Amino acid sequence: MREKVLIGNGQGFWGDSPDTPWEMVTRGPLDYLTLDYLAEVTMSIMMRQKLRDSSRGYATDFLSFLERSLPILMDRGIKVVTNAGGLNPPALRERIGEIAERVGVFGLRVGVIEGDDILPRLPDILADGHPLEHMETGAALAELRAKVLSANAYLGARPVAEALDAGAHIVVAGRVTDTALTLGPLMHEFGWQPGQWDLLASGIIAGHIIECGAQATGGNFTRWWEVPDLWDIGYPIVECTPDGSFVVTKHPGTGGLVTVDAVAEQMVYEMGRPDEYITPDVVADFTSARLEQEGPDRVRVTSIQGRPSTEFLKVSATYHDGYKAIGHLTISGPRAIEKARLCADIIWRRLARSGMPVCVDDRLVEIVGADACMPGIAETVCPPPEVVLRIGMHDRDRRKVARFGMELAPLITSGPPGITGFAGGRPKPQEIVAYWPALLSKDVVEPQVKVSVEEV
């Protein structure tokens, strides 16, 4: 057993810096690199891709990183754990094999985790008495069965650990929890087992701190002016020990900062009840954690406690929910806010006159520059000389949404003065892939782990 394991996260979401994974493996020591690409919106993007091409549905950025980095990863013994598999881990595994052959890396062992995709089984699951009720509204998914596009259960860290136990150099998963990318390697390295709740909770909190990338090292930090060299920000690393304590840090010589305040801000990010953070592996008590500044860019985290996990897995489903279109107009000159409101009213009235009225609940009107981002918090101090009208609508009728897109440009000559910013053309209807969160008994889902080897 190692005395210390270094795990760094080089991606906080699909679209994060393309250079960071390379920087993480070349600018300092590392045992594991985690790459977190998935979010609910990401799954909907991948679904659109897979519907167009059945061989897609994964994070393509991961392949660009491997093309550049695979030889150095193998040379330095750095293992990679990622959820880049998205909705199609086997397809991504095939692309990894092609890259390994192209760059001359043989003997590469790739672990693929499946079982999270329950869409093919959905009719049977619903028929067996699992309603997959919406976690907020209580509605049953059966009401939308014909519109469901994807359904994935959040798997925990155990399959990740199993893939590493089997010798995988790279672990490719679909919808596992973000924290499983970190907890899995710790279970593998230190032999942590189900039932060791405090240790498992420590791995969960370590994973939560680094899962959003640079948000733990000065990115999105409240006192942003105190963060040095934000352009070269270092991404977070946790130095973990078998007793569950760990230090949050970053590579020397990189920008950003690691302080108690910065780490604490990330800890409460996307947080419901901090004393009851529910994962498939454990219920972690974030309030039990003790943070201490150990030195420059080093925060030690100790005393974490956990409780038994629940009998459920969270399910993330998506479904077709009509169409939307959003357009923007820049409005300048005196009384800009009044003009923006008038423009919105003109659009809705003209649509109604055309026989395509828009329900108030399906309208979006935001006046950027006039308290749109933080309504009621940062009020407009004085009339701004210019604003941006962000206006949109949603409807199940694609024709109505398309008609909305035709109403913005005419305002330039048939509305109030000072309107510009229509260079992008008419906003086009876009399919809405909506999110459906639910719970499902763990005994309904069986993860599958397969490790294959690229031969010479």
For 247-299, the pLDDT digits (tens) are 999 999 999 999 999 999 999 998 989 999 999 999 999 999 999 999 999 99
Distance CA(190)–CA(242), nearest Å, equals 6
Tell me which residue range forms the domain holding 406: 322-432
Same domain (yes/no): 220, 266: yes
**What is the rounded CA–CA span in Å between residue 89 and residue 414?**
52
- pLDDT for residue 351: 97
- What is the band of 1 on the pLDDT scale with cuts at 50, 70, 90? confident
The residue-averaged pLDDT of 48-70 equals 92
Please indicate, yes or no, whether residues 11 and 160 belong to a single structural domain of this protein.
Answer: yes
CA nearest neighbour of 355 among 403, 407, 426: 403
For residue 50, name the pLDDT band (cuts at 50, 70, 90). confident
Q: Of the candidates 310, 340, 356, which is a domain's last residue?
A: 310
The neighbouring-strand residues paired with 195 are none
Helices (H), 138-214: 158-165, 180-190, 197-210
What residue spans of 225-335 are helical by DSSP H?
260-267
> What is residue 456's predicted lDDT score, i.e. its pLDDT?
41
Domain annotation covers residue 245? yes
Residue 58, both tokens: 């994964």
Type of residue at 224: W
In sequence order, the 6+-apart residues with CB closer than 8 A to the CB of 229 are: 254, 255, 256
**Per-residue pLDDT, 43:** 80
Last residue of a domain, one of 310, 332, 353: 310
118, pLDDT greater than 60: yes
- Last residue of some domain: 310, 337, 363? 310
In a domain, 368, yes or no: yes
pLDDT bucket at 209, cuts 50 / 70 / 90: very high
- Judgement on whether residues 103 and 178 belong to the same structural domain of the protein: yes
* Statement to judge: residues 389 and 257 lie in one domain: no
* Measured distance CA(302)–CA(92) in Å, rounded: 37
Distance CA 276, CA 289 (A): 13
Provide the whole-model pTM: 0.93
pLDDT given for residue 430 in this prediction: 94
DSSP track, 380-436: -SS--SEEEEEEEEEES-HHHHHHHHTTSTTHHHHS-SSEE--TT-SPPPEEEEEEE
State pLDDT tens for residues 342-397: 999 999 999 999 999 999 999 999 999 887 787 777 766 788 999 999 999 999 99
Q: State the pLDDT confidence band at 455, using cuts at 50, 70 and 90.
A: low
Strand 312-332 versus strand 386-395 pairing type? antiparallel
Which domain CATH number covers 401? Answer: 3.30.70
Burial status of residue 261 (CB atoms within 10 A of its CB: 0-12, 13-18, 19 or more): middle
The helix (run of H) or strand (run of E) holding residue 50 is helix 40-52
State residue 238's pLDDT score: 98
Rounded CA-CA distance 248/299 in Å is 5
Domains in the chain: how many in total?
Answer: 2
Residue 272 sits in the same domain as residue 341? no
From 276, 278, 273, select the one nearest 313 (Cα to Cα): 278
C-alpha distances in angstroms, 167 versus 108, 171, 421? 10, 10, 56
pLDDT tens by residue, 218-245: 999 999 999 999 999 999 999 999 999 9
pLDDT tens digits, residue range 119-140? Answer: 999 999 999 999 999 999 999 9
CA atoms within 13 A on the CB side of 315: 29
**Same domain flag for 96 and 197:** yes
Closest CA to 405 of 351, 338, 366, 340: 351
Note the pLDDT of residue 314. 97
The pLDDT of residue 179 is: 98
* Spatial CB neighbours of 139, under 8 Å, sequence gap ≥ 6: 133
